[in-house]
Structure formats: structure tokens, C-alpha cells
């Protein structure tokens, strides 16, 4: 039957398959809690095109998938956060608000645009204490999940997740969490690879820092942490 | 504040490519939030509102120091005696304000967001000249208000991380109400007491100042300003209200803690007990 009726289920399934395929092509990103906040580890050989970025004082953004699409979302997020912080107060900008906005935007794009966004993102907010740390995982169709402890996204997400499930524990030191994260990302198709500092993009939301908690770990710091 | 005016979709302004300026974004999306775009009062009417007074800045061997007195006046009334008029702009710069206090504080807030916004969108910081020019634009947007007597005159200073050496990396910029930007050398002062502060700094300034020397020079200059200008507040020893002193060096911005400023101020005041005019410069 060359043309005619296509069921809504089929349309949604096709779109979801399309988005999932796009996301699965990319390298993985891991977001995990550690004793002083939240750690982001991404396999990303580029030092200019980031997968992990600062949104606001306590909030950061990690993404996998199509660069131009998640970059669009990131910039919109920075504008939303700065607009809210400027019109109200810095403490009124929250990860939950941002996650809700992204969920609506992604949901609308998924159902109304000619193609869905091929992205998966995590909005992370660091709290005053570990109890206040929040991780929101958002998928291409606007689904949002409030995750505990860690989120793995991208092509190899399942393998990374299972490694994390095995070894993650609350209250890990930065070095320990980083070593685990790198080990988890190195597990691909049942094989172990070696990831060097130059192939990694690493950042933290460190609750010990004043005001702006986001900090990138540069190659030299990374090598030092990885070797110790 | 509803960002979803178009039902589930963010307005296009949020996705506009190649705009790293928060002010431009506000102008496109929420022009009502811009300080200069407010409904104008009737022409010929001047509004009485608190005014901030004297700010001084002095460069030294490892950066720049900026300080401000704590007084805000409204006519001949002291509106506030512990006002803060020197602010951190970003990691490597600070801004002090003289003029209409309410508008100045809002302008500084916008300037702070502007710098941070650029940094987050672009992933890199603006050059010191770039920051100075952005501030210039914000002042220019306030021109209509300035015509009604609500002028804002900031003093901007920072550490130029792209500079050649620390001794010349501390830089100072002054502005006029039309947004004109002028780079100052060695030291500068703005506000009602600035004439006296600048006179003092002219006699006190040395090329080989350390950070501590620059702090002392700022406190001396503010003392002289308060001595001769009624709108500038001197150190309030009974209430323990001292000038706000900030420093920007290669290590970034730092606001000097109250006990440090208290010590330096007490020293200056003690010396003036025997010499009310302050240090005497050699005649030749």
C-alpha cells in the first residue's frame, strides 16, 4: 500500500527510532554525584565544542547527540536563567524550573516539528548538602526523570550505567569518582579502552566554591587526579 | 513571568544565534526590564532620589585598588550611611558608582549579568577593553534619565590578563553621562568629592606603590574628600563603618575584609590627630 493511513502510534514510533539512532551514534557522557557535589565526565576530544557547560550559579548542563540542537537548548537555558535571576533574584533560578522548561520545549518539538531533536540532556543542580543534589534527565520526546546518584547518556549508555550501578557509592572523593567514571566510559562493547586526559572533558559543580560552583578541570589537573 | 507566550514553544529570541549580549536579548524580548527604557517622567521635572558620592581608584605594581565612601545623600539629608558603591563586575574587574544610586545599582546588576552571560554563551571572557566598552553602552542608554538629573557616572577598573606585565596590568576607565569612555593613568576619582580626592592622590601617588600603599592612598584621598565635601562620608569610627576597599590582581577580585580596612583607616585617623591635613608632600 504506497500511501494512505499511518497510525499515530507508527508516526511516534518512527520519530522515536529516528531520534534514538541519532543519539546512539555519539560518544557517552556521565554525570555522577561525589562528596563535594556533581562530577561530569564526557568523552570529547574537542576542547572548544563542549558537551558540559555552566548554566547558572548552581546549575550545569550536559548533553549528547546533535551538537547544533543541544547547543541551541544550552543557549536558551542560559538566557532563561539569566533573565529570571535578573528579574527576581539569583536564588530564584532552580534546576527544576529549567528541567520543566526543557521538557516542554522538547515535547513540543517532538510532536509538532518535521523531525525530533536527536539529543538527550541532563540538568544538574548542586545543593548545600548532598541531599540537595539533583539530576534531571531529559530525553528527545520531553520525558523527564529525576535521577539519583548518576546518569549515563549516549551511544554506550547501558554499559556505562551497569558499571556505575556496580561500583557507585555515595560520598566518593573527587579522585575516586573520576577514576570510576573514566573506567565506566572506557568499557565499550565488552572491551576496555584507555582514555587519556586529552580525550576527556571533565567539570564539576563543587558546593565548596563561592557563588559560581561550576569549574572545568584542565588537562594538567586531570592527569594529576587520574595518576593518583 | 511566562516564557511560554506561544504555547509550549519558546519565543524565537531564546534561540537567536550569534547573540552573546544579555542586554540585546532583553531589548528584543523584555525591553521593559532595561534601566533606560522606563516610562519617562514629565519633562522639566527633576526627581529627588539618593545620590552616591566619591569613588577612587589607584593602580599599583600588581594590579589596581578601588575604594568608595559609604554615604548617600538626598538634598542635604544623609539618605544612607553604610551604602556600598563599589562592586565586583566579574573575576578580574570592579566597578564603582557615583550619581543617582537606584539607577546606578540597577545598571551595575545589568553589567554583571552582561559579563557573565557573555562568558557562559561564548565559553570565554571578554577582554578588559571589551568590558569597558559594554559599560559605555549601558551608560549611553541612560542618557534620557541623565537629562532629568538621574545621571550615573561609574568608574571601572580591572586587571588586564592579556597585558604584558603585572605592573601595567591594572587599568582604570572613567565615563561621562553620554557614555564617553576615557582610560585614566595611575589614579582617578569620580563623584562630588572627586576634586579633593584627586588633588590628594596627585600628591600621594608613586609609581612603585605596593597593594598596601595603594589602599592607604585611597583611604587618605577619601578622608580628604570627606574633609571638604559635605556629601562624602568620612570613616565613622563610632559605628565602625569604613570605606569599601576592593583589589583586583592576577589572583582575581578581592574585597578587603572589614578588620583589614579598619586597621588601615585607624592608622590614617591617628596620624591626622597630629597632622589634620594629612601627609605633607615635599615642596620641591
Distances (CA, A) of B79 to A1, B49, B70, B71, B201: 82, 9, 11, 8, 28
Contact A47, A167 (CB under 8 A): no
Q: Residues 6 or more apart from A59 whose CB is under 8 A from it?
A: A81, A93, A94, A95, A98, A123, A124, A125, A205
Q: What's residue A226's pLDDT? A: 87
Q: What's residue B39's pLDDT? A: 52
**CA-based nearest residue to B98, from B138, B25, B155, B47:** B155
Beta-bridged to residue A221, according to DSSP, are none
Q: What's residue B157's pLDDT? A: 98
> Is B238 a known active-site residue?
no
Q: What is the mean pLDDT of residues A56-65?
A: 96
Q: What angle do CA A208, A214, A220 make, to 5 degrees?
A: 95
Q: Do A82 and B14 touch (CB under 8 A)?
A: no
Contact A38, A205 (CB under 8 A): yes
In our burial notation (b when 16+ CB lie closer than 10 A, e otherwise), range B41-65 reads: eeeeeeeeebbbbbbbbbbbbbbbb
Residues of chain A contacting residue B113, judged by C-beta atoms under 8 Å apart: 82, 85-86
* pLDDT lower than 70: segments of chain B: 1-8, 17-18, 36-47
Catalytic residue among B23, B42, B46, B53: B53
How high does pLDDT run on average in chain A? 92
* Model confidence, pTM: 0.90
Q: Which residue of A has its CA nearest to B22?
A: A79
Rounded Cα–Cα distance for residues A143 and A199 (Å): 30
Q: What's residue B148's pLDDT? A: 79
Nearest CB among A50, A82, A108 relative to B117 is that of A82
DSSP for B11-45 reads PGGGG-TT---HHHHHHHH-GGGSGGGSPPPPTT-
Q: What's residue B50's pLDDT? A: 83
Hey, which bits of chain B come out as E strands? 51-52, 55-60, 63-68, 72-74, 77-80, 86-90, 93-100, 152-159, 170-175, 181-184, 187-190, 244-249, 252-255
Chain-centroid distance of CA A83 in Å reads: 22
Rounded Cα–Cα distance for residues B234 and B236 (Å): 6
DSSP 3-state of A36: coil
Residues of chain B contacting residue A55, judged by C-beta atoms under 8 Å apart: 120
Q: What's residue B84's pLDDT? A: 95
| B72-75 own/partner pairs: CB under 8 Å, 24+ apart | B72/B101, B73/B230, B73/B231, B74/B48, B74/B49, B74/B50, B75/B48
HSE at residue B91, side-chain half, CA atoms within 13 A, is 14
Q: Do A105 and B1 touch (CB under 8 A)?
A: no
Q: Do A105 and B25 touch (CB under 8 A)?
A: no
Alpha helices in chain A (DSSP H): 8-24, 67-87, 95-112, 157-167, 174-186, 219-227
pLDDT tens, A151-195?
999 988 999 999 999 999 999 999 999 999 999 999 866 677 888
**ipTM of the complex, rounded to two decimals:** 0.91
Contact A78, B121 (CB under 8 A): yes
Alpha helices in B70-152 (DSSP H): 101-122, 128-141, 143-147
Put simply, whether A71 touches B (Cβ < 8 Å) is no
Residues of chain B contacting residue A84, judged by C-beta atoms under 8 Å apart: 1
Beta-bridged to residue A62, according to DSSP, are A52, A122
Rounded Cα–Cα distance for residues B215 and B201 (Å): 12
Q: What's residue B16's pLDDT? A: 72
Q: Nearest-CA distance from A82 to chain B in Å?
A: 7
> Cell 500511501 belongs to which residue?
A3
As its CATH architecture, domain B48-274 has 4-Layer Sandwich (3.60)
Q: Which residue of A has its CA nearest to B17?
A: A72
pLDDT tens, A24-57?
888 999 999 999 999 999 999 888 899 999 999 9
Residues of chain B contacting residue A48, judged by C-beta atoms under 8 Å apart: 123
Q: What's residue A1's pLDDT? A: 53
Put simply, whether A139 touches B (Cβ < 8 Å) is no
DSSP 3-state of B196: helix
Q: Do A104 and B4 touch (CB under 8 A)?
A: yes
Rounded Cα–Cα distance for residues A183 and A192 (Å): 8
pLDDT tens, B64-73?
999 999 999 9
Q: Nearest-CA distance from A158 to chain B in Å?
A: 31
Rounded Cα–Cα distance for residues A32 and A28 (Å): 13
Q: Do B1 and A108 touch (CB under 8 A)?
A: no
DSSP 3-state of B183: strand
Question: Which among A44, A82, A108 is the top mutation candidate for probing chain B, defined by the most B β-carbons within 10 Å of its own β-carbon?
Answer: A82
Distances (CA, A) of B252 to A93, B68, B260: 26, 19, 18
DSSP 3-state of B63: strand
In chain A, the domains with their CATH numbers are 8-227 (3.60.20.10)
Amino acid at each position: 500500500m504506497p500511501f494512505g493511513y499511518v497510525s499515530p502510534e507508527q508516526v511516534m514510533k518512527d520519530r522515536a527510532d529516528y531520534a534514538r539512532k541519532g543519539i546512539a551514534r555519539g560518544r557517552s557522557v556521565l554525570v555522577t554525584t561525589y562528596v563535594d557535589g556533581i562530577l561530569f565526565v564526557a568523552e570529547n576530544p574537542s576542547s572548544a565544542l563542549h558537551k558540559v557547560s555552566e548554566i547558572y550559579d548552581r546549575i550545569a548542563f550536559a548533553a549528547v547527540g546533535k551538537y547544533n540542537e543541544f547547543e541551541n537548548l544550552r543557549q536558551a537555558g542560559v538566557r532563561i536563567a539569566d533573565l529570571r535571576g535578573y528579574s527576581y533574584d539569583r536564588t530564584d533560578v532552580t534546576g527544576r524550573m529549567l528541567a520543566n522548561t526543557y521538557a516542554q520545549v522538547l515535547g513540543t518539538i517532538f510532536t509538532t516539528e518535521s523531525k525530533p531533536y536527536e539529543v538527550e540532556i541532563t540538568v544538574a543542580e548542586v545543593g548545600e548538602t548532598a541531599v540537595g543534589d539533583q539530576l534531571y534527565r531529559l530525553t528527545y520526546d520531553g520525558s523527564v526523570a529525576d535521577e539519583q546518584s548518576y546518569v549515563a547518556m549516549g551511544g554506550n549508555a547501558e554499559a556505562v550505567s551497569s558499571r556505575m550501578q556496580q561500583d557507585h557509592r555515595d560520598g566518593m572523593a573527587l579522585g575516586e569518582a573520576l577514576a570510576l567514571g573514566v573506567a565506566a566510559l572506557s568499557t565499550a562493547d565488552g572491551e576496555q579502552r584507555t582514555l587519556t586526559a586529552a580525550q576527556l572533558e571533565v567539570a564539576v559543580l563543587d558546593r565548596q566554591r563561592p557563588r559560581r560552583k561550576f569549574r572545568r578541570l584542565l588537562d594538567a589537573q586531570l592527569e594529576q587526579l587520574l595518576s593518583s | 513571568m511566562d516564557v511560554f507566550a506561544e504555547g509550549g514553544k519558546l519565543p524565537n529570541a531564546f534561540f537567536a544565534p550569534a547573540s552573546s549580549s544579555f542586554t540585546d536579548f532583553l531589548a528584543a524580548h523584555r525591553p521593559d526590564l532595561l534601566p533606560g527604557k522606563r516610562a519617562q517622567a514629565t519633562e522639566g521635572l527633576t526627581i529627588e532620589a539618593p545620590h552616591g558620592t566619591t569613588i577612587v581608584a589607584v593602580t599599583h605594581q600588581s594590579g589596581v585598588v578601588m575604594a568608595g565612601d559609604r554615604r548617600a545623600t538626598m538634598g542635604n539629608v544623609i539618605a544612607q550611611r553604610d551604602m556600598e558603591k563599589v562592586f565586583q563586575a566579574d573575576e578580574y574587574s570592579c566597578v564603582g558608582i557615583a550619581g543617582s544610586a537606584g539607577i546606578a545599582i540597577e545598571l551595575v546588576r545589568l553589567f554583571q549579568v552582561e559579563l557573565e552571560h557573555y562568558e557562559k554563551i561564548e565559553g570565554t571572557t571578554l577582554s578588559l577593553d571589551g568590558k569597558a566598552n559594554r559599560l559605555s553602552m549601558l551608560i549611553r542608554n541612560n542618557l534620557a534619565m541623565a537629562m532629568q538629573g538621574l545621571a550615573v557616572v561609574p568608574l571601572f577598573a580591572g586587571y588586564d590578563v592579556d597585558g604584558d606585565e603585572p605592573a601595567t596590568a591594572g587599568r582604570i576607565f572613567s565615563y561621562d553621562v553620554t557614555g564617553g569612555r576615557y582610560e585614566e593613568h595611575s589614579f582617578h576619582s569620580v563623584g562630588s568629592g572627586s576634586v579633593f580626592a584627586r588633588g590628594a592622590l596627585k600628591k600621594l601617588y608613586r609609581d612603585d606603590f605596593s597593594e598596601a600603599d595603594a589602599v592607604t592612598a585611597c583611604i587618605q584621598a577619601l578622608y580628604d574628600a570627606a574633609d571638604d565635601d559635605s556629601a562624602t562620608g568620612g570613616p565613622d569610627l563610632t559605628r565602625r563603618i569604613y570605606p569599601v576597599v576592593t583589589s583586583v590582581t592576577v589572583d582575581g577580585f578581592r574585597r578587603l575584609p572589614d578588620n583589614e580596612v579598619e586597621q588601615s583607616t585607624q592608622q590614617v585617623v591617628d596620624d591626622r590627630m597630629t597632622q589634620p591635613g594629612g601627609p605633607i608632600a615635599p615642596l620641591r
